Amino acid sequence: MESYVLDWFNLLLRWTHVITAIAWIGSSFYFVFLDSSLTPPEDEELKKQGVSGELWAVHGGGFYHPVKFATRPPQLPKHLHWFYWESYITWLTGFSLFTVSYLWSADTYLIDKAKMDWLPWQAITVAILFLVVFWVLYDLICRRFGQRKGGDAMVGAMVFVLVCLASWLACHWFAGRAAFLLMGAMLATSMSANVAHWIIPGQRKVVAAIKAGAPVDPMHGIRGKQRSVHNTYFTLPVLFAMLSGHYSFTYTHPQNWVILIAMMVAGASIRQFFVLRHGYKLGRNPHPLRYALVGMVVIGVLMVWLAPRPESAQVASISVANSLVTTGAGGQIGYATLQPILAQRCYMCHGALVQMKNVRLDSAANVKLHAQNMYQQAVVTKIMPMNNATGISMAERLLIKEWFETGAKVD
């Protein structure tokens, strides 16, 4: 019953998280596009009001004319929309989902005893420290070096080194799937912290100064813009890390930390292409195709590197699997051969006492019902058993493969 309730929490939190993330990322992408696409105003009245840029757009059957005031508008409107709840709710639902999915069952999902034989509370503490320590160091780098001449490049280089170090540590301390997700959560935490600690407070100070008739400190806008730019480059790496759990060939690789860093570089480079493309259309910078090509080349190299190759160990496993086969009618693998494997490798989480994901495999009828799932999870993606906690062998996976592909008979 506990696993069933957790599954519902997981589903609802994931649904809410995706919805709010779409809203946050969508508004972020839109404002990056808007800021890069503004042109100097042509109307003299707009110039007198202090408008620094304008954009004409058509969408949904109507025409839109957003304008930007570089420092302050002539007067504040009665209703001023603030963009922050999208960020906060995305983080709150994301952290709750991380808690339900990973921290709640740290023994199963967070810990890989072949890497670190931690107690659950130790693994949970270190995982949370990843979120906190990275933000503290990243924020320190931005405050210390961000306003210097050439500071953006310096900050970018130092943050990249910090991300590489964190990736290496996460992939050597935690189970691969959890490590990738933890890196995404780490960057997403810093994105939301940028909104909460710098972007919104700076905007509030600007609004307060305007209401008081006091001069507006332009530094608030400069800092807010800097953190907003960082957030837009973090976005695609975060999305990859969050989606990687569906693709075990990335996080189960022995050098999974290299794959993680490379995909993050590819994502940031591709995002750079889209950011600069808006300005290219207005003749402000050269064509940014080279950045997209860098990202595509990195992904292409990874595709070649990770391509499956015949290995002597796999050939040996096939021989072992063949020697273990007990066939039924028609030469098919029988349930008698399959059942001991399931009892040893699967019943722990899918038996009489526990039914993770509401899946039970301790009867012939249930095995037949979940045959497709078993094949996908244990053979194709090799996600199950989680972190291979029960030590299933390649020979046993191949037996499940042969059983499924020859009809999945349980008679």
> Residue 196 to residues 89, 204, 298, 331: CA-CA distances in angstroms?
12, 11, 33, 64
| Structural contact between residues 38 and 55, judged by C-beta atoms closer than 8 angstroms | yes
Domain C-terminal end among 281, 306, 331: 306
The verdict on 146 and 289 lying in the same domain is yes
By the 8 A CB rule, do 174 and 127 touch? yes
Residues 359 and 268 in one domain: no
Question: Are 159 and 249 in a shared domain?
Answer: yes
Q: Are residues 135 and 247 in the same domain?
A: yes
Residues 179 and 238 occupy one common structural domain:
yes
Q: What is the DSSP string of 81-122?
A: ----HHHHHHHHHHHHHHIIIIITTIIIII--TTT----HHH
Residues 260 and 324 in one domain: no
In this structure, of 23-32, 59-68, 248-257, 402-411, the range with the lowest mean pLDDT score is 402-411
Q: What is the pLDDT of residues 269-282, one digit of tens each?
A: 999 998 888 777 77
Query: Among residues 395, 390, 408, 409, which one has the least CA distance to residue 349?
Result: 390
Q: Identify the pLDDT of residue 189.
A: 96
Query: CA 310 from chain center: how many Å?
Result: 31
Residue in this structure with the two tokens 């800097």, named with its chain if needed: 226
Looking at the structure, tell me whether residues 261 and 364 fall in a common domain.
no
Cβ atoms of 393 and 317 within 8 Å: the answer is yes
Domain total of the chain: 2
User: Do 262 and 164 sit in the same domain of this protein?
Assistant: yes
Structure token digits, residue 260: 């993680």
Same domain, 164 and 200: yes
Q: Are residues 191 and 108 in the same domain?
A: yes
Q: Do 338 and 295 share a structural domain?
A: no
Give the pLDDT of residue 173.
94
355-378 confidence digits (pLDDT tens): 676 787 878 888 788 888 788 778
- Better-scored residue on pLDDT, 196 or 335: 196
Looking at the structure, do residues 272 and 316 belong to the same domain, yes or no?
no
Give the mean pLDDT of 42-66: 89
Residue 229 belongs to a domain: yes
| Domain boundaries, position 395 | 312-405
Average pLDDT, the chain: 85
